[in-house]
Amino acid sequence: MKNLDWLSEKNTIKKLWIGFIFVLTITLVFQFFFPLDGHFKIEKYFGFAAFYGFFSCFIMIIVAKALGVLLKVKENYYD
């Protein structure tokens, strides 16, 4: 099972990031060849889904973090 350790090596992680960014770019480039034809105008803008996917997650993490300040308590709170 030790042969799976390579996945955590720095070199591999760097390669994975390069691969990931490459795939992200590909999904954007594909939009040139297959223009999106949605129900709403906003869907047709270049990279809308990419921007919206990133941006909405950004907002959700911020909101979660902010609510966490108010609502998070220690695990033994009810004991």
> 3-class DSSP state for residue 65?
helix
Q: Quick one: which of 12, 14, 27, 45 contacts other proteins (CB under 8 A)?
A: 27
Handedness of CA 39, 40, 45, 49 (dihedral sign): negative
Residue 27 makes CB contacts below 8 A (sequence gap 6+) with 50
Q: Which is nearer to other proteins, 10 or 40 (CB)?
A: 40
SS3 46: coil
Residue 8 touches other proteins, criterion: CB under 8 A: yes
**Footprint on this chain of other proteins (rule: CB under 8 A):** 1-2, 4-5, 7-8, 20, 23-24, 27-28, 30-31, 34-40, 42-43, 47, 49-54, 56-58, 60-61, 63-65, 67-68, 71-75, 77-79
